[in-house]
Structures are given as structure tokens and as C-alpha cells.
Amino acid sequence: MSQSNALSLPSGFRTFLALAGAVALLGTVTTATLAAGETHVVTHARGATEVPSQPQRVVVLEPVQLDTAIALGIVPVGSPTLNASTGIPKYLGEEAAGITVVGTFMELKLEAIAALLPDLIIGTETRHSAYYDQLSAIAPTVFMATQTDPWRDNLQFTANALGSTAGADQLLAAYDQRCEDIKQRYNVEGKTAQFIRPRDTVLSIYAPSSFAGSTLECVGFKIPDRDWDDAISSDISPELVLDATADYVFVAAADPSAADAIPASIRANEASFPKLFAADSAYWISGVGSVGGMAVLDDIEKALSAE
């Protein structure tokens, strides 16, 4: 088939041809990988799947999976990003800079994934359910149930899929010890804190069940009571910004050093926010995992030591 004919095919059929070619090659590679090394069975949202215990070419589809893989010393060959304009988060370090972007979290590029010849794919049922059969045709694929589950549970799931349950225990133990050290060093018990994410027309206040909220509470902060309605955040209008006060308030920003990192509704009431800090959304929101958690703890410690 000539190149011009291929380009004239419907996009869906071209995708099928690209996947079929990659899968034909990958079927041999994956079978050889499973046969050559140890494997283990992962129970996940779609059942039970045999995967390599020491995968060499992993594609991860969620931030917590990317963060966990990097923390365990496994650099994935591919990962989606939040949107087309964002890259792999810089907080993950130089070793992550070369990871191939395979679409966005909600819109995967299957051809790009297949071209990487992965031996393991890790995704999420709530976001990637429609892709499961196609992904499974490329490589053994396991799905955690939802990205909104407690991040510790998703970290442990990811580590298990990667063949490193002991590594997960070590990562969480180090995180917990860092929390305890900060709590004791700065006598945090009894102080309140809020994490606020400015959106287009509202301010989102993050609950204790969120990644940011759980990290604040891990060091001993108390997040003021609110009707969370089993959600990880609660929205208020900027006019009600005084409902978001606390001893320490962290505000998400794409660039914490920018002059407008703190929204006008909060700046206009600075007297009610005596300890106010801009926080990098790359890891306070998107950096779910132990690497992101340690970065959040760095910010918390800087805020506490600024007194």
C-alpha cells in the first residue's frame, strides 16, 4: 500500500492498521518477556492478569503511577500528561524528562503507546475503561479502580504491579517519618490549615481525604470542618473567601513566584490570612505519590520555619 493511499484511509482504520502492526510484533516480544523472567498475577479492576515481575518498558496512565514508578527507580517509557501544553512534571527530576508523552489522561494516543513496545501498562478503570481491550492487545494491562481512591492505596497497587510491594512499604514509611519529624519539630498539633485551588469562578477548598489535605493533616494540622459530602474538595464563591481562613493557608498556583499567584479575592483580605503561601500545583495537586508528597512536605516545612 502506498503512503498516499494510507493517508487517505479513515483515521479509525489507520489506527487499527498501526495497532495491528505493532501488536503483531509486540505479541512475540511480550510472550518472550513473560517466558524469560518471573511473573506475578495482579488482581485489579478488570480481573486478574499475569505481568512481568521486573518490567523493563512500562507505560503508566495516571500521575500516582508515574510518581510511584519514579520513586521506585523505574523510569516509564511513556505517560500521558494533563493537557497538550503540559509536559512531564519537572518535580520528578531529570530522569523523567525523556519519557514519551502518549496523549492526555483522558485521551490516550494508542499508536504512540504501541510504538513504545511496552511489557506492562498500568491505568485506571474510571478514566481508561474504553481503552482496556485495545491496551490489553498491546501488553499486559492492569487497572486500579479510580484515581480518587486514597493515594496510599493507589501507590501500593502500582508498586505491586511493578513487582515491588516492599518498595511501597519503604516509601510510605519514609513519608510518615518525615511527617512525624515535622510535627514534633514545629509543634504543629492544634494549628489549622487550608489548601485552596482558585478556579475560573470559584475557590476550591481541599478536604482531608485529598492528597494535599491528607499531607497537611499528616504533619498535625487540622483542616476546619466543612460539609465535604464525600468529595475531595468543596467550592465557595470568592465573596465567601473568609470561610477559607486558617492559621496557615496554601494557595495553588502554576507559578508560585508570579505576582498574581494569589487571587485578588484573597489579597484583598490579607489581614485575615496572616500566614499565606503560594504552592506549586504541579505537585500539590498533580503530584500524587511519595515524590510529590515529599515536595509538599518541603513547602510545609519552609512555611513553618518562616515564623
pLDDT in tens, 240-252: 999 999 999 999 9
pLDDT at 72 over 70: yes
Q: Are 63 and 288 in contact (CB under 8 A)?
A: yes
3-state secondary structure of 207: coil
pLDDT at 108 over 80: yes
pLDDT, tens digit (0-9, with 9 covering 90-100), for 268-296: 999 999 999 999 999 999 889 999 999 99
Pairing of strands 39-44, 58-60: unpaired
- The pLDDT score that the predictor gives to residue 20 is 44
Query: Sheet containing 120-124: which strands, arranged edge to edge?
Result: 100-104, 78-81, 58-60, 120-124, 141-144
> For residue 38, with 0-12 CB atoms within 10 Å meaning exposed, 13-18 middle and 19 or more buried, which class applies?
exposed
Output the CA–CA distances (angstroms, integers) from residue 7 to 4, 15, 17, 101, 307, in the order listed.
Answer: 5, 11, 12, 23, 63
Which of these ranges, 34-43, 191-200, 298-307, has the smallest mean pLDDT? Answer: 34-43
CA proximity to 120, closest of 166, 81, 161:
161
Q: What residues are paired with 141 via a beta bridge?
A: 121
Crossing angle, helix 63-71 and helix 151-161, to 10 degrees?
60
CA distance 239 to 231: 22
Residue with cell 530522569: 95
Percent of the chain exceeding pLDDT 90 equals: 82
CA atoms within 13 A on the CB side of 170: 10
pLDDT at 266 over 50: yes
3-state secondary structure of 64: helix
How confident is residue 255, by pLDDT bands cut at 50, 70 and 90? very high
Torsions phi, psi of 284, nearest 5?
A: -70, -30
**What domains appear along the chain, each with residue ranges and CATH number?**
39-163 (3.40.50.1980), 178-306 (3.40.50.1980)
Average pLDDT, the chain: 89
Q: Are 76 and 59 in contact (CB under 8 A)?
A: yes
How confident is residue 29, by pLDDT bands cut at 50, 70 and 90? very low
CA proximity to 114, closest of 90, 95, 131:
131
Q: 106-128 as b/e, with b when 16 or more CB fall inside 10 Å?
A: eebbbbbbbbbbbbbbbbbeebb
